[in-house]
Structure 1
Amino acid sequence: MPDIHPNSGDHPSTSVHPDSRALRLGIAGPVGTGKSSLIAMICRELNTELSLGVITNDIYTDEDARYLRSAGVLDPERIRAVETGACPHTAIRDDVTANLLAVEDLEADFAPLDVVLVESGGDNLTATFSPALVDAQIFVLDVAGGGDVARKGGPGIGRADLLVVNKTDLGPHVGVDVRQMVADGMKARDGRPVLALSRHDRESIDGLMAWVRELLVAFRSGRHVAVDPGPMAPHSHAEAGGTAVLHVHGGAGPHSHVHPLS
């Protein structure tokens, strides 16, 4: 499996990050790429050496939280759900209040935590976390989603702290050249790290855990500074009744809904 390709120094070393709270690590990516499974993997591997908590996001349910609790990877009380009731990106970028309160409550209840993992609801290639919510973010693609996805770009693929190409063991079964997909991801990321991951490949799992540990060390020392991958591109969603609503996101403020004139 390809190794993690190291970051080429995107994060300034002059800012000192407060070490009085947990590292907040966001996990984003399209539906079905394996975000919950990746979080379960991190918890399973690191829960004996780090104090962890998880916040999941779903639109209408707590499905991901229930999956993680049933997997037995953490004390169930350390896994909490936010039901966004709206587009998944809204709660991780436009108005992070519900998630931020959930993170702060979790940190208060189980202090001191080392890492809080925040899982986005499944969204499209443009969804990224606000740096007001997380300190770093992983963007997850999967081989079964198509070998060309990494070439399609977007702020998560291009500028998340780590790009994970997940489920690499499925490559031969879905006709995807994993090495080429990883190479496409590297080309899109200008030296930022890319990891090919499979739950059946010990080396890739160890690579992910090493990256998390190194990130935590950098966060605690003040060497890591949260970087905003950039605003989302305009996109549309269907409201009740089938009306299409265009979402236009500004760089810093809340996003607007542009409704077609009747």
Structure 2
Amino acid sequence: MSPTHRDVATVGIGGPVGSGKTSLLTKLVPQLCEAGLDVGVIANDILTQEDANRLRDRFEGVVPESLVAGVETGACPHTGIREDPSMNLQQIDSFLVEHPELDLVLIESGGDNLAATFDPELADYSLYVISVAEGDDIPRKRGPGVVDCDLLVINKTDLAPYVDADLQVMRRDARSVRDGPFVFTDCKTEDGIARVLDHVRDGVLFA
């Protein structure tokens, strides 16, 4: 019997536009591949393949072009990850036709703190990415994206001094509103990326 999406580990990466989801993917995917994993990537967008094309360029020579795909939701991206994930599930099944050895699929989607939550059938493990530039009050606003994700990623820490964001306040509030882990990251220097990888491995690959 041919494998289906139920046979492949999946990680959802959500967050608002500009939070650094694509930069995070750019750091995570090559390291996952170097660890010997066959990785696919799906980028959700409303009407274009722009995000997927950008990822194909970034992953050239790392991930086969046939394992980077765009899903055009035709509506707010959260429709394709939360209300009706069928398009994404079909894309994973399409990956498996050509790549039955696939180990892991990462699914990126934009969305605000209320919208970017993943249907459990689509994502075995979910990350929600915020930027310190959005304000250090984001964690304590307690949106489902921040509270319910498996791992909260507080990104762009290098910008904190320039936007008057207090990382200690964000740390305190994230700890207060969440039962699960959170990680501070700076994708430019790769600070925190190893910790994100450890959480992904522990949460979905070795669970």
Structure label with greater radius of gyration: 1
Partner of 2:206: 218
2:151 is the alignment partner of 1:146: no
Task: Tell me how far 1:208 sits from its aligned partner.
Answer: 1.1
1:254 matched residue in structure 2: none
Normalized per residue, the structure richer in helix is 2
Residue of structure 2 equivalent to 1:204: 192
- TM-score, normalised relative to structure 1: 0.72
Look up the SS of the partner of 1:47 in the other structure: helix
Contact kept? 2:8, 2:104, Cα under 8 Å: yes
Summarize deviations over 1:150-195 as a string: whole Å, max 9, x none: 11111121111000001111111111112221221121103x1000
SS of 1:172's equivalent in the other structure is helix
TM-score by length of 2: 0.90
Whether 1:169 aligns to 2:161 is: no
Superposition map of 1:237-252 within 5 A: none
Residue aligning to 2:46: 59
Asked if 1 retains the 8 angstrom alpha-carbon contact of 2:5 and 2:93, the reply is no
Q: CA RMSD in A?
A: 1.8
User: Could you tell me which residue of structure 2 aligns to residue 124 of structure 1?
Assistant: 112
The 2-side partners of 1:200 and 1:19 are apart by 33
Which residue of structure 2 aligns with residue 252 of structure 1?
A: none
Q: Distance in 2 between matches of 1:77 and 1:19?
A: 16
For residues 114-136 of structure 1, give each alpha carbon's deviation from its aligned partner in whole angstroms, at most 9, with x where no partner exists: 1100111x221112111121111
Question: How far 1:98 moved relative to its partner?
Answer: 0.8
Indicate the percent of aligned positions where both proteins have the same amino acid. Answer: 41
Matched, 1:87 2:76: yes
One-letter identity of the residue aligned with 2:7: R
Q: Residue 27 of structure 1 aligns to which amino acid in structure 2?
A: I
Whole-Å separation in 1 of the counterparts to 2:201 and 2:63: 18
For the 8 Å contact 1:22–1:112, the answer to whether it is kept is: no
